[in-house]
C-alpha cells in the first residue's frame, strides 16, 4: 500500500514559499506606530494643560464676579462707611458698612481678608467666603471718594489661582456709590 500525498498537503509544508512580514517591514510599522503615539500623547498633554489654564482663569473670574457683585450691592444699600473700623487706602483693606435691614434694624457689613480669602460678615457673624476655594486674594484695597452730594468706595482687588506652571493673576477695579 502506497500513500499518495495530495498536492495541497505538499504546498502546506513547502519551505520555499515565504509568507509574513520581513524585519524591515516590522521596523517601519513600529516606527509609524511610535510616531502616532507621540502625536496622541502631545495632543493629550496639550488638552490637559489647556484645561488647567482654563480652570485657573475661571476661578479668578468667578471670584472677582462674586466679590464685585456683593461689595457693590452692599455698598449701594449702606447708609455710611464706618471710618474707624475700616482700613482704607492700605493692603489688606477692610470695609465696614453701616445701614439698616428691610425691617429697619441696624445692620453692619464687614469685608476683610483672612488667609488670602475675601470674607463677609454681617452684624459680627461670618457669612462666609466670597472667593473660590482655589483662588487667593493677594491684594485688597478700598479707597473712599466723596463729594458734597455722594460718597462711594473704589475697590482694587488682585486674585490669583493655579499652580506654578498654570498660574493666573488678574487685577480688578470697581466702584460703587452709597445711597
CB atoms within 10 A of CB 109: 22
Q: What is the pLDDT of residue 8?
A: 53
Q: How confident is the model at residue 5 (pLDDT cuts 50, 70, 90)?
A: low
Asked whether the beta carbons of 143 and 137 are under 8 A apart, the reply is: no
The kind and range of the H/E element at 127 are strand 125-129
> What is the model's pTM?
0.74
Q: How confident is the model at residue 110 (pLDDT cuts 50, 70, 90)?
A: very high
> Among 155, 164, 101, 159, which Cα is nearest to 129's?
159
Amino acid at each position: 500500500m502506497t500513500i499518495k500525498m495530495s498536492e495541497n498537503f505538499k504546498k502546506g509544508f513547502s519551505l520555499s514559499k515565504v509568507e509574513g512580514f520581513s524585519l524591515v517591514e516590522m521596523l517601519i510599522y513600529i516606527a509609524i506606530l511610535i510616531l502616532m503615539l507621540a502625536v496622541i500623547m502631545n495632543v493629550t498633554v496639550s488638552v490637559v494643560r489647556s484645561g488647567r489654564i482654563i480652570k485657573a482663569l475661571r476661578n479668578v473670574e468667578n471670584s472677582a464676579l462674586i466679590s464685585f457683585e456683593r461689595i457693590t450691592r452692599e455698598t449701594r444699600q449702606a447708609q455710611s462707611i464706618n471710618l474707624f473700623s475700616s482700613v482704607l487706602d492700605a493692603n489688606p483693606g477692610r470695609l465696614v458698612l453701616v445701614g439698616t435691614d428691610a425691617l429697619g434694624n441696624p445692620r453692619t457689613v464687614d469685608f476683610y481678608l483672612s488667609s488670602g480669602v475675601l470674607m463677609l460678615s454681617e452684624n459680627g457673624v461670618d457669612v462666609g467666603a466670597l472667593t473660590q476655594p482655589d483662588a487667593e486674594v493677594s491684594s485688597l484695597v478700598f479707597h473712599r471718594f466723596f463729594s458734597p452730594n455722594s460718597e462711594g468706595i473704589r475697590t482694587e482687588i488682585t486674585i490669583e489661582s493655579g499652580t506654578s506652571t498654570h498660574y493666573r493673576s488678574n487685577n480688578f477695579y470697581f466702584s460703587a456709590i452709597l445711597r
